[in-house]
Amino acid sequence: MFKIILCCLMLMPSLSWAGETRNVNFAAFQAVDKDFEFEPVVPGTFSDFISGMKGSKILAMVHTADAISGDVITMQTSVLRDEEGSLGDFGVDCQLNFKVDGEGDEAGYLLGGVCRIIQVGGGKNLRTVMVIPHANIPDTSQGFEGWIMLDEDEGSGIAFYANVSVEKH
């Protein structure tokens, strides 16, 4: 009996790698060129996506590992600084809910939540809360390689993009 249990335990790590892993990719960019406009859909590979963002700077990027339906994905980037005795805060803070609709090759992926944009100090006082409704995001393994814009805050020049990559094991 001990040998059977030992064999089962030895097989478990390989079983956990069977199937597929979903990775949610989420990025925040800020326009720096006054003539730059964010595109609603940026087709192509990751390098095409980054190249298409000339005129903006990347604020943060998240690549999850093995996301499952119901996960809350967080992204926070913030700079706190002393501004002549007053605390300044510049950053982005997002909490997004990931949902899977369907199974296998027919699955659709949704992402939505709340992002806070804070630019306080240095003469600025911007505090924006963006509610991002759940939106379909593309799955790069289902024939469309690209990123979709979830939302944009024109006041701060910040836009949020996402996609899903699925790795089969």
* Percent of all residues in the chain with a pLDDT value above 90, rounded to a whole number: 62
In the predicted model, is pLDDT for residue 27 greater than 90? yes
Q: What b/e readout covers 108-144, taking b as 16+ CB neighbours within 10 angstroms?
A: ebbbbbebebbbbbeeeeeeeebebebeebbbbbeee
In the predicted model, is pLDDT for residue 63 greater than 90? yes
Number of domains in the chain: 1
Domain extent, residue 91, equals: 2-168
Predicted confidence at residue 78, as pLDDT, reads 87
In the predicted model, is pLDDT for residue 18 greater than 60? no
- Residue 58 bridge partners (DSSP): 29
Q: Which residue has the higher pLDDT, 122 or 58?
A: 58
DSSP helix/strand/coil, 77: strand
Q: How many residues does the chain have?
A: 169
Predicted confidence at residue 126, as pLDDT, reads 86
> pLDDT tens for residues 105-131?
778 999 999 999 998 887 888 899 999
- Residue 78 bridge partners (DSSP): 91
Please, which pLDDT band fits residue 134 given cuts at 50, 70 and 90?
A: very high
Cα dihedral sign, 25-95-78-154: positive
